[in-house]
Structure 1
């Protein structure tokens, strides 16, 4: 019953819009600060995450696979991360504020939140993850009062047309 309300109700869409815009502002301002500031460099963050991994009560690494990823891929390609992190944060925020491709923006926001979390940064990530999952679960209704009202039907129409063409060509 709650799921149906969250995914279909106009009042829920209004509440989701407020949450979406608030999260979007946080994402966009974080990205904008990195894009326009003195220059963003993730080297220190990544190095500290590798040197001081999240440990359980027994003192062992909890996410050794993630530390291996950071050490073996992220640090050697830090310039790529210096580009995609601020740009990603900004675009996630823009998508959420405008309500454009809302579920995609929120999915990638959650990926980034979990990445920060796995690296040992708690900060506001639990709150962002909680509200992010609500937006993601609500689906189209989260972007109903935004550009998704027009963008999603347009994309569906294009995909349906391409699918029909592919089926007709295969026959």
Structure 2
């Protein structure tokens, strides 16, 4: 049994690529927490600002919800022509089949999604999750042919995902992550207490 455990341990080690020191320093060292604080606040503010502009715009949220998104999608569909279109065919099909028929619903989802991502990044709450969904929205805007600040925000959000362990260290993640834990290391709220062993009665006694 001991030999078998040794073989399993050796096999596991053989499949692991050691993390370079520079990667540990950049993405897992709390000494860079101030740098990641600046990055995430910048990215977060961009999202909050974009979401707030939509929130106060009736074409996105309100009586005419969906009108703004419909115009955006129609503009994207107009970029599908030519030998090198800005919007590729499969994404244009997605916009036509999934987004346009439910423009009002998507309009609300995008608006509040941008605000939630921004607030999560600014306050450092579930930073890696917020950055992931932010990069997902950036990717969709890029697929729709909108460049603007999306490439920069996509790159920064990707870095924040890689640095999720320390990106929110100066923020709410300092408290949230130890409480929630991760799928491979449960936290205080998700860890099940070990069962208390029941006392075993000893048969017999003094004769």
TM-score, normalising length from structure 2?
0.72
Matched residues in 2 for 1:93 and 1:54: separation? 34
Q: Note if contact 2:99-2:106 (Cα within 8 Å) is conserved in structure 1.
A: yes
Residue aligning to 2:33 = 13
Instruction: Please point out which of 108, 127, 151 is paired with 1:102.
Output: 127
**CA displacement 1:49-89 (0-9 Å, x = unmatched):** 1232376xx34676221111101010001011110111001
- Structure-2 separation of matches of 1:110 and 1:54: 26
- Please name the residue that 2:42 is paired with: 22
Contact 1:28 / 1:90 at 8 angstroms: preserved in 2?
A: yes
Match of 2:167 among 142, 151, 156: 142
1:47 matched residue in structure 2: 74
Quick one: structure 1 residues 117 and 54, their matched pair in 2 at CA, closer, same or farther if it must change by over 3 Å? Answer: farther
Instruction: Establish whether residue 85 from structure 1 lines up as the match of residue 110 from structure 2.
Output: yes
Unpaired stretches in structure 1, ≥5 consecutive residues: 166-171
Between the aligned partners of 2:160 and 2:81, the Cα distance in structure 1 is: 28
Which residue pairs with 1:34 in the alignment?
Answer: 54
Q: Which has the larger radius of gyration?
A: 2
Structure-1 separation of matches of 2:132 and 2:147: 19
Q: Describe the SS at the equivalent of 2:191.
A: helix
CA RMSD of aligned residues (A): 2.0
User: Deviation string for 1:135-166 (max 9, x for gaps)?
Assistant: 1111120011000011111112233329x89x
TM-score by length of 1: 0.87
Say if 2:142 is the partner of 1:125.
no
Report what 1:73 is aligned to: 98
Residues 117 and 134 in structure 2, CA contact (< 8 A), matched pair in contact too = yes
Comparing 94-103 and 4-13, the one that deviates more:
4-13
Tell me, in whole angstroms, the C-alpha distance in 2 between the residues paired with 1:130 and 1:99. Answer: 18
